[in-house]
């Protein structure tokens, strides 16, 4: 998996999010560069998921904007998607497909052709190896979560990882595995934005925190 491209910065300024009639947050700003980790915390309903979806470009902010290397992500369009890997609340795991097929299709959709070797190695990393031929409807919630994170890991050329509650439903060993993967990503010069209610000590070259209020 090759290293994220040289110097990259993700800058958000004056983000405002309005859902329905309610203003969820206002004036959120941050700037992340290589190796930077952004923790987003706050109570339920404070807009953590909305902020992450704005960072990915899935949601348009009511005001403010996101810039990738100095260019607005709205102008970049699909070009920006080449740098983003997102794991949301939903795992995007197809119940009808087998574990291996899910990973392969997921990676191919993200523009990465995964070899059998790479798929096996990734499954091993997330401790769901040996299940390649199992239909995903037989997986537990935690295993599906691992599979979603494994898919993101397979698209390893992405610079920005946006993770919404990556540790949800994971056991202690799972949390540890994901933590290592994120640390490695940051160590290679990647960027990460994540929300979590669990306090997990992730070693990163630079850490920022945003506390959203209700």
Partner 1 sequence: MFSALRCVVARDLLVVMRNKSDAANTLFFFAVVVSLFPLGIGPETALLRAIAPGVVWVAALLASMLALARMFAADFTDGTLEQMVLAPQPLGVLVAGKVFAHWLVSGFPLVLMAPLLGLQFGLEGDAVLMLVVSLLLGTPVLSLLGAVAAALTLGLRASGVLVPLIVLPLCVPVLIFGAGAVDAVASGLAAGPHLSLLAAYLLPSVVFGPWVASIAIRIALE
Q: What does the binding site for partner 1 look like in residue numbers (CB under 8 A)?
A: 56-60, 78-79, 81-82, 84, 86, 88-97, 101, 105-106, 108-111, 113, 135
User: In terms of CB distance, is 108 or 197 closer to partner 1?
Assistant: 108
d(C-alpha 194, C-alpha 183), whole Å? 13
Min CB(133)–partner 1 separation in Å: 13
* Beta-bridge mates of residue 40: 195, 210
Min CB(161)–partner 1 separation in Å: 12
User: In terms of CB distance, is 97 or 200 closer to partner 1?
Assistant: 97
User: In terms of CB distance, is 30 or 86 closer to partner 1?
Assistant: 86
Pick the closest to residue 124 from 181, 75, 83 (CA basis).
181
Backbone angles phi, psi at 18, to 5 degrees: -120, 125
75 burial class (0-12, 13-18, 19+ CB within 10 angstroms)?
exposed
Min CB(53)–partner 1 separation in Å: 8
Pick the closest to residue 31 from 171, 213, 191 (CA basis).
191
Min CB(96)–partner 1 separation in Å: 4
User: In terms of CB distance, is 157 or 208 closer to partner 1?
Assistant: 157
d(C-alpha 113, C-alpha 168), whole Å? 28
């Amino acid at each position: 998996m090759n290293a994220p491209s040289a110097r990259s910065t993700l800058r958000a300024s004056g983000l405002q999010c309005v859902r329905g009639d309610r203003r969820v947050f206002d004036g959120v700003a941050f700037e992340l560069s290589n190796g930077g980790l952004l923790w987003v915390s706050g109570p339920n309903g404070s807009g953590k998921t909305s902020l992450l979806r704005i960072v990915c470009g899935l949601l348009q902010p009511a005001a403010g904007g996101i810039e990738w290397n100095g260019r607005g992500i709205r102008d970049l369009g699909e070009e920006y998607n080449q740098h983003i890997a997102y794991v949301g609340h939903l795992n995007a795991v197809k119940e009808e497909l087998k574990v291996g097929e899910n990973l392969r299709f997921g990676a191919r959709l993200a523009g990465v052709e995964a070899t059998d070797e790479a798929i096996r190695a990734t499954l091993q990393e997330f401790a769901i190896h040996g299940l390649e031929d199992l239909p995903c409807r037989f997986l537990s919630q935690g295993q599906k979560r691992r599979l979603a994170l494994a898919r993101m890991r397979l698209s390893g050329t992405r610079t920005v990882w946006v993770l919404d509650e990556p540790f949800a439903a994971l056991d202690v060993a799972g949390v540890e595995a994901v933590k290592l993967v994120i640390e490695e990503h940051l160590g290679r010069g990647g960027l990460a934005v994540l929300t979590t209610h669990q306090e997990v000590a992730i070693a990163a070259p630079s850490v920022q925190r945003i506390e959203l209020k209700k």
